[in-house]
Amino acid sequence: MVGAGVAGLAVATLLARAGHRVVVLERFDRPAPVGSGLMLQPTGLAALQRLGLREEIAALGARIDRLHGTTDRGATVFDLAYGDLAPGLHALAVHRAALHGVLWQAFAACGARIETARAVAGVAEHADRILLHDATGATLAEADIAIDASGARSGLRALVDPTPPRAFAYGAVWASVPDPGLAPGMLLQRYVDARIMLGWLPVGRAEAAGKPLAALFWSIKPGDHAAWAARFDGWRAEAAALWPPIAPVLAALPGPQAFTPATYIPFTAKRPWRGRLVLLGDAAHATSPQLGQGANSALLDALALADALAAEPAHETAFARYAAARRAHVRFYQRASAVITPFFQSDARSLAVVRDLVFDRLKIVPWLRREMIRTLAGLKTGLLAHRDPAVLAGGAIPPPSPGPAPGRS
C-alpha cells in the first residue's frame, strides 16, 4: 500500500481484517491529515458504517442538513435540503483530523504494518511479484500486489495511465476556525460572479475534548496566493462585507498563515490498474471538491477493492471487478465536477449569469430537485440513474428498479 490517507487507511484495515499481510508505506514521518474540513455524504457514511466506524465519526462531526448559496446581490443560487429526498437523510461535515483519527484507530487495531518516511517513487514487476522502490532505486517492499493510494499528486499513476493531469484555474485557501454557531446544520456559500466564493462549513470537533470548529474557505487562483496574503487586511474587509456575521471570526485570525492553499487536479484513469498495480482514491480519480465527493469516493473504492479481492482469487480479475463496480459512479462525478466547477470557480461572467438565473429555478420541478439532492448526496451513477448509499458501499443487494429504465434503483 502506498499512502496512509483516507483510501489507504480504509483499504489496509479491510484487507488486514480479511487476513492479508499488509504493509503501508507513507512518505511523511508521521501520517497526518492535510487541510481543514470535508463533507461525508450519505455514501461515505454508509462506507464508514461497513467499516464499523460510523458512530465514532458521528460523535465528532457536525450534521449537515442543508446547502445554501447566495450571490453578493442576494440571489439564491441553491438552497437544497437532504431531507427533501428522504426523511432523516443528511451529510456529516468533519474535521480532517477527526476522520483521520477514526480511520487510524481502526488501522492500528487491524494488524497491518506501517513504515513511515518512505516515499515510493516507482514499481517494477518480476515474475509474480511487484517491487516498490524509492527515488534512489532502493527496494522498499516486495509484494503480490501494490495499491497506490497516494492521492491527487500520485507519481505512480502514470505507470497505469500516462494521460498527464491538468489543473483547474482556481483553487482555494482553507482555514479551521472556532465555530461560534454561525450557520448550524448547513454548508453556506457566498458568490461574486464565479470569481469569488466564500464558504463556511461547521465541522464539529477534531478530537473528543476539542471545541467546535468550522472550515472557512475562499476561492483563489494558485498564482494569486502571494498577492492575497499581502493584502490580508483588505481581504478581511471584503469577506466581511460579503457575509457580515463572519466579521468577528475574521478579526480574530492571526493572518494569512492561518490558511492552507489547495489546488485541484482533474484526472480520471481510464482503467485504474495495470499488471499488479492498482489505483485507489484520488490517485485513480481526482477533481475539484465542488461536489464534495472525493473522500467519499475514496472510501467506496476501498470497500469495492476489498470486496473484489475477497471474491476473486486472481489479482487481474479482482482488479477488473473493482474497476467495474466503481466505473459508473466515478465517471458520473468526474464529469459532473468538471461541468459544474466553472460555474462556481472561473473568470466566466456568462456562466455566473446562467447559474444565478437557472440553478435555483431548476428545483421548482420536483424531479429535478430530487436529482440535484441525489447528486449532492453522492448517489448518482448516471444522468438518470442512482443507487442507495448502502448499495454503493457494497453492503446491500440492489432493490428492484422502480423506474422505467431497467437496472436502475
Ligand X SMILES: Cc1cc2nc3c(=O)[nH]c(=O)nc-3n(C[C@H](O)[C@H](O)[C@H](O)COP(=O)(O)OP(=O)(O)OC[C@H]3O[C@@H](n4cnc5c(N)ncnc54)[C@H](O)[C@@H]3O)c2cc1C
Strands 285-286 and 267-268: antiparallel
- Binding to ligand X by residue 27, rule CB under 6 A? yes
* Stretch of 26-34, 189-197, 235-243, 270-278 lying at the interface with ligand X (CB under 6 A): 26-34
Among 150, 334, 337, 346, which residue interacts with ligand X (rule: CB under 6 A)?
150
Among 4, 48, 89, 242, which residue interacts with ligand X (rule: CB under 6 A)?
4
> Which stretch of DSSP H or E encloses residue 133?
strand 129-133
* Cell matching residue 209: 475534548
CA distance 200 to 244: 13
* Stretch of 150-158, 223-231, 335-343, 390-398 lying at the interface with ligand X (CB under 6 A): 150-158
* Stretch of 22-30, 48-56, 223-231, 382-390 lying at the interface with ligand X (CB under 6 A): 22-30
Measured from the CB atom, the residue of 63 and 408 that comes closer to ligand X is 63
Measured from the CB atom, the residue of 139 and 317 that comes closer to ligand X is 139
CA distance 409 to 403: 8
Measured from the CB atom, the residue of 120 and 160 that comes closer to ligand X is 120
Residues 380-399 that bind ligand X (CB under 6 A): none
* Cell matching residue 157: 499513476
Measured from the CB atom, the residue of 25 and 250 that comes closer to ligand X is 25
Residues 175-234 that bind ligand X (CB under 6 A): none
Residues 30-59 that bind ligand X (CB under 6 A): 31, 35, 38-39
- Binding to ligand X by residue 173, rule CB under 6 A? no
Residue written as grid cell 465541522: 203
| Backbone phi and psi for residue 11, each to the nearest 5 degrees, phi listed first | -70, -35
Length of the chain: 409
* Stretch of 5-13, 53-61, 330-338, 362-370 lying at the interface with ligand X (CB under 6 A): 5-13
**Beta bridge pairs of residue 215:** 176, 201
CA distance 165 to 330: 16
CA distance 50 to 286: 24
Residues 259-278 that bind ligand X (CB under 6 A): 262
CA distance 276 to 329: 24
- Binding to ligand X by residue 165, rule CB under 6 A? no
Shortest Å distance, C-beta 291 to ligand X: 8
Shortest Å distance, C-beta 34 to ligand X: 7
Shortest Å distance, C-beta 136 to ligand X: 13
CA dihedral 21, 308, 50, 80 (to 10 degrees): 130
CA distance 47 to 40: 10
Among 5, 202, 204, 342, which residue interacts with ligand X (rule: CB under 6 A)?
5
Measured from the CB atom, the residue of 13 and 356 that comes closer to ligand X is 13
Kindly give the residue spans of alpha helices, DSSP state H, lying in 225-288. 225-230, 232-242, 247-251
Which of 199, 207, 193, 281 has its CA nearest to residue 56? 207
Site string for ligand X, 339-368 (x = CB under 6 A): ------------------------------
CA distance 118 to 134: 7
Measured from the CB atom, the residue of 282 and 307 that comes closer to ligand X is 282
For residues 61 and 203, the answer to whether their CB atoms sit within 8 Å is yes
Measured from the CB atom, the residue of 151 and 204 that comes closer to ligand X is 151
- Residue 242 is classified by DSSP as H
CA distance 203 to 175: 12
Strands 277-279 and 146-148: parallel
CB atoms within 10 A of CB 295: 24
Shortest Å distance, C-beta 387 to ligand X: 17
Shortest Å distance, C-beta 30 to ligand X: 10
Q: How many residues make contact with ligand X (CB under 6 A)?
A: 34
Residues 283-322 that bind ligand X (CB under 6 A): 283, 289, 292-296, 298
Among 1, 13, 14, 26, which residue interacts with ligand X (rule: CB under 6 A)?
26
Binding site for ligand X (CB under 6 A): 2-8, 25-28, 31, 35, 38-39, 119-120, 149-151, 155, 172, 174, 262, 281-283, 289, 292-296, 298
